């Protein structure tokens, strides 16, 4: 399947207009992380290098067609001394499938603090998913064959009192990535949509559901490498009425908090495939 370089490939068509490549895929609709990653790359291309991404907020509006490219229209909302803001709309066939606001910041001095990294078994002590999946699941995960993803078994989690649903995932890109820090940020935006909604399924492993990302927000705190191990500590504090709220914090091996994610997703009981389907979401 596509490498991350191929998945994030962007063509500059006109000032503030970009086209994202369609890539080889087995998915019936465009992967939400690819849309978010390409939208972020488009926004990055319109700001000066001194600005760094510090947050994004996106909404998945319609399913994307994975065999068609997506055009990204960038609006330059704000140009400030310390902050600038971009709004990006992803379009297919004249209709918006995704919209995102991204904010960029020139770093300043200020007080620092962070939570302690949660305990988790090291990734080397966990099996590579490729060696443990059923043939059916392994076929499905071919879409992300370039990622090393290792889920912490539920019996090895350090559980929080009162938490409804928790999940921990170690991940890294299997191959060396470019040195550009912004490429790693866009790579993480791609990956952050990959397992997060699954945390809402932890208490309901046998319930057949239709799942899709509805909105997605990220905050980036410090530089990191997506080809080094990162711990995605996830939870789902609520699910109901066909939706679920999920959140995750991402740590490097040194215990530094590098990013945080919040996502609401569709998680409703699976319906008759010939019945009506929800129009939104891409994952």
CATH number assigned to the domain comprising residue 231: 2.40.160.210
Q: What is the pLDDT of residue 200?
A: 97
Q: Is the CB of residue 19 less than 8 Å from the CB of residue 70?
A: yes
Asked, for residue 139, whether it belongs to a domain, the answer is yes
State residue 118's pLDDT score: 96
Which is the catalytic residue, given 34, 103, 193, 234? 193
Residue 210 lies in a domain: yes
Q: How confident is the model at residue 134 (pLDDT cuts 50, 70, 90)?
A: confident
Task: Give the pLDDT mean for 123-134.
Answer: 84
Q: What is the mean pLDDT of residues 257-269?
A: 97
Q: Which domain holds residue 66?
A: 4-107+121-269
**pLDDT at position 156 over 50:** yes
Measured between alpha carbons, how far is 62 from 194 in angstroms, rounded to an integer?
Answer: 18
Mean pLDDT value across the chain: 93
What pLDDT is recorded for position 272? Answer: 61
State how beta strands 166-173 and 147-151 pair.
Answer: antiparallel
CB 81 within 8 A of CB 60: no
Structurally, the chain folds into a number of domains equal to 1
Annotated catalytic residue 42: no
Residue 278 lies in a domain: no
Q: In this model, does residue 281 exceed pLDDT 80?
A: no
Active site residue 263: yes
Ranges 23-32, 46-55, 216-225, 234-243: which has the least confidence = 23-32
DSSP state of 133: S
Query: For the residues 138-163, what does the mean pLDDT come to?
Result: 89
CA-based torsion, 113, 115, 121, 126: positive or negative: negative
In a domain, 34, yes or no: yes
Predicted local distance difference test score (pLDDT) of residue 278: 39
| Contact predicate 103/88, CB 8 Å | no
The dihedrals phi and psi of 185, each to the nearest 5 degrees, come to -65, -45
71 in Cβ contact with 91 (< 8 Å): yes
Catalytic residue among 213, 234, 235, 236: 213
Asked, for residue 55, whether it belongs to a domain, the answer is: yes
The dihedral formed by the CA atoms of 51, 55, 60 and 66, expressed in degrees to the nearest 10: 50
**CB crowding 226-246: b at 16 or more within 10 Å, else e:** bbebbbbbbbbeebeeeebeb
210 is catalytic: no
Kindly list the distances between the CA atom of residue 29 and the CA atoms of 65, 68, 110, 203, 263, in Å, as whole numbers in the listed order: 5, 10, 43, 26, 19
Inside any domain, residue 279: no
Whether residue 282 has pLDDT greater than 60: no
Q: Return the closest-CA partner of residue 68 out of 97, 89, 92.
A: 92
Asked if the model's pLDDT at residue 137 lies above 80, the reply is no
Average pLDDT for residues 262-272, to the nearest whole number? 90
pLDDT bin (cut points 50, 70, 90) of residue 141 is: confident
The answer as to whether 275 is a domain residue is no
281 within some domain: no
Task: State the angle between helix axes of 181-191 and 32-44 in degrees (0 to 180), rounded to the nearest 10.
Answer: 150
Average pLDDT over residues 251-271: 95
């Amino acid at each position: 399947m596509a490498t991350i370089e191929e998945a994030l490939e962007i063509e500059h068509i006109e000032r503030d207009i970009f086209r994202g490549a369609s890539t080889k895929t087995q998915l019936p609709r465009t992967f939400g992380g690819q849309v978010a990653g390409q939208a972020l790359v488009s926004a990055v291309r319109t700001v000066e290098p001194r600005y760094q991404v510090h947050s994004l907020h996106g909404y998945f509006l319609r399913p994307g067609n994975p065999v068609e490219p997506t055009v990204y229209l960038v609006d330059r909302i704000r140009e400030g001394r310390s902050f600038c803001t971009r709004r990006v709309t992803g379009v297919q066939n004249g209709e918006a499938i995704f919209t995102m606001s991204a904010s960029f910041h020139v770093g300043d001095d200020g007080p620092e603090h962070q939570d302690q990294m949660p305990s988790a078994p090291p990734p080397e002590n966990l099996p590579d998913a490729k060696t443990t999946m059923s043939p059916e699941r392994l076929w499905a995960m071919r879409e992300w064959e370039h990622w090393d993803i290792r889920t912490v078994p539920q019996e090895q989690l350090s559980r929080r009192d009162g938490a409804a649903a928790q999940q921990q995932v170690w991940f890294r890109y299997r191959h060396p990535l470019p040195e550009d820090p912004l490429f790693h940020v866009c790579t993480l935006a791609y990956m952050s949509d990959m397992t997060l909604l699954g945390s809402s399924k932890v208490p309901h492993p046998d319930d057949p559901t239709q799942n899709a990302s509805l909105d997605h927000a990220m905050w980036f705190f410090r530089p990191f490498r997506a080809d080094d191990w990162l711990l995605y500590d996830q939870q789902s504090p609520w699910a109901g009425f066909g939706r679920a709220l999920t959140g995750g914090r991402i740590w490097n091996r040194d215990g530094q908090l590098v990013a945080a994610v919040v996502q609401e997703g569709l998680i409703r009981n699976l319906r008759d495939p010939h019945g009506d389907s929800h129009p939104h979401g891409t994952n």
